[in-house]
Structure 1
């Protein structure tokens, strides 16, 4: 593209909209994906007339603003953009554990609409859904928006765990889901907080939802007596659960689970366990 060759010879400052789109991609990918060869890095670069190298570098520079990475010595470019900091603090804040990504996702949608950038550019793996024609316009809008935000939340949570179940380490993507600590239906104001999510395999997710599995505030798993009694003594399943019981979960790269959410949910598990 001609615009890319221009960028190589004439440095062009990043705009807030461009940094915002980069941040949206940042929260949905793991650090190992911030490379110029990543197809989503390439797609975004094409849409904003940047080189893939420039987008990859921007993602790395955003990483330096994450307190968890900063503690590990990740510094990015020493003279990172002030716009990077402004956009980060506007949408993430000082503590990613309390970040609600609703405003960031809304901003990405607005920018995409204004610049003609489709959702599959800034939402990895996104596939648009067909909404029934008879449905009212407002209902179609709400359904499409909800689906988009769910996909973005899912990416944010799963990428933080490297797309692996935090309990079993299972890494088959089709079998790993983003589980809400506080249920989706009961926590509308926390639905898009990645710290309200944990990557769990399909089986562990179902067990968690049914309080057959508890996760303590210090990130240790505990299987209920009912679940342990349901497997035959000496079986492979019994041995598997015994090995995992009371073990620490894998910690995420970013968006560590909120301890208050975990404490509240763990208490619910304990109450259920006492009443069984």
Structure 2
């Protein structure tokens, strides 16, 4: 087991502690419903962190699913045996994911310590391009806090789009990027918001980031004239002309912030002049 700090109460059976429950909710947002099973390598890692077995963690995640309006509206069901603490934690952190991330970070540091290598072995693997993005201004060293937040943003965005590119439907996580609609520099208070993210394949992420591609108010793809012209003369089809005017796949849990999308689109239009 990975328990380092004996002052943190992490029972291995029976009633869950508050710390264990907070971490379970933190992880719940990072996985699609279909991946909530005991053979999932992430759940196995998470169960080791909180001194529980994988089946118990799955049951706790399914308890949160039974409280999730998105899951309820889809006709699916969780376990249906939520505790008072489950409901309290769910209601307290509802629409407060920044606070949830902060509290989860504190708990994780109490359990695992502050060894960066230890955290790297526990967190989902970030793509190199995303790891190199600096979400925190002048800091250059990728701190544990950054690792936790970058992993949370990426995992939550991919989960929100069922781990598929919302434009093409590509379902290979190693080729997917959690793209900010508006960068943290322009909207620092939205850098972790799942409403400020799209799940895109690497090509579309790059085009979106450079404002060569955007979405209209109906969430349909718009290409810049320059990108369209380049695509028309490319030797092989690279999947750009085909997507123009096509709607993206709708997010599952967190809707897109249309105000942030308008900022992106306004900049896109400005660059065409």
Taking structure 1 as the reference length, the TM-score comes to 0.79
Instruction: Tell me: CA distance 1:16–1:237, structure 2 relative to 1, closer, same or farther (3 Å).
Output: same
> Of 82, 86, 89, which aligns to 1:87?
89
Aligned equivalent of 1:259: 258
CA distance in 2, matches of 1:219, 1:122: 35
1:7-36 superposed Cα distances (whole Å, 9 cap, x missing partner) = 7xxx71222211111112111111121101
CA distance in 1, matches of 2:49, 2:242: 48
Q: Which of 196-205 and 209-218 deviates more?
A: 209-218
Unaligned runs of 5+ in 2: 2-10, 128-138
CA distance in 1, matches of 2:245, 2:23: 40
Aligned equivalent of 2:229: 229
Once the two structures are superposed, the pairs formed by residues 62-211 of structure 1 within 5 Å of their partners are: 62-91=64-93, 93=94, 99-116=95-112, 119=119, 123-125=123-125, 143-211=143-211
- Contact 2:112–2:119, Cα closer than 8 Å, also in 1: no
1:196-240 superposed Cα distances (whole Å, 9 cap, x missing partner) = 0001111111111221111123321111111111133595438x4
1:250-273 superposed Cα distances (whole Å, 9 cap, x missing partner) = 123322222222233223323333
Structure possessing the higher radius of gyration over alpha carbons: 1
Instruction: Tell me: CA distance 1:47–1:205, structure 2 relative to 1, closer, same or farther (3 Å).
Output: closer
Instruction: Tell me: CA distance 1:74–1:15, structure 2 relative to 1, closer, same or farther (3 Å).
Output: farther
SS at match of 2:57: helix
Q: Which has the higher helix share?
A: 1
Unaligned runs of 5+ in 1: 94-98, 128-138
1:112-168 superposed Cα distances (whole Å, 9 cap, x missing partner) = 2223375357632369xxxxxxxxxxx688733223311221111112223321112
> Of 41, 44, 53, which aligns to 1:42?
44
CA distance in 2, matches of 1:120, 1:31: 24
SS at match of 1:222: strand
CA distance in 2, matches of 1:140, 1:211: 25
- Contact 1:179–1:200, Cα closer than 8 Å, also in 2: yes
CA distance in 1, matches of 2:140, 2:175: 29
- Contact 2:208–2:214, Cα closer than 8 Å, also in 1: yes
Aligned equivalent of 2:27: 25
1:71-103 superposed Cα distances (whole Å, 9 cap, x missing partner) = 113332334122122212222x2xxxxx45322
Instruction: Tell me: CA distance 1:174–1:50, structure 2 relative to 1, closer, same or farther (3 Å).
Output: closer
Taking structure 2 as the reference length, the TM-score comes to 0.80
What RMSD in Å do the two structures reach over aligned CA positions?
2.8
| 4+ residue runs over 6 A deviation | 139-142
Q: How many residues align?
A: 250
Aligned equivalent of 1:249: 248
